[in-house]
Amino acid sequence: AHRPERRHPCPTCGKTFKKKSHLGTHLLTHTGQRPFPCPDCPKTFASRANLLRHRLTHTGQRPYQCDRCHKRFTQSSSLRQHLLLHTRRHPHACPDCGLRFRRPHRLLLHRCRHTGEYPYKCPDCGRSFLLRRLLDLHRLLHA
């Protein structure tokens, strides 16, 4: 199968795109421009597609539905991620809510959300974090 070449490189970071319009949207990530405002709230977006996806949060629309359990989603990517729960082996179940995980460490991290006990504690103020990198960022505040 022939795949189109990625002929449009970003002059800032070198990432390449198949379509010039995708490069144009990507360039906004470097400039910080967000020319697509939401008419319903103060949020702004770098692309029209992101604005349209966001607007679903105001309407409550969830156009993507799982054909197995009928759960609905605002984004097709969320539905695709959800479908993995039905198609892949997830042997590690949370005893509190039933959510299932493929890897035991992901279940352990998830359980922290129920208990409120997080594994990474700041030695300066005692605040706890789910991820080490979040603790590291927090500790910069004390420096």
Question: What is the value of pTM for the model shown?
Answer: 0.44
Does a structural domain hold residue 53?
yes
Q: How many domains does the chain have?
A: 2
Q: What is the extent of the structural domain holding 123?
A: 92-140
Residue 134: closest CA among 113, 118, 116, 115: 118
Does a structural domain hold residue 87?
no
Q: Is 50 helix (H, G, I), strand (E, B) or coil?
A: helix
Does a structural domain hold residue 70?
no
Residue 46 belongs to domain with CATH number? 3.30.160.60
Grade residue 77 by pLDDT with cuts at 50, 70 and 90.
confident
Does a structural domain hold residue 42?
yes
Does a structural domain hold residue 82?
no
Does a structural domain hold residue 83?
no
Does a structural domain hold residue 1?
no
Mean pLDDT computed over 72-94: 83
- Residues 19-71 have pLDDT tens digits of 898 888 888 888 888 899 999 999 998 888 889 888 888 888 888 999 988 99
Residue 127: closest CA among 118, 114, 112: 118
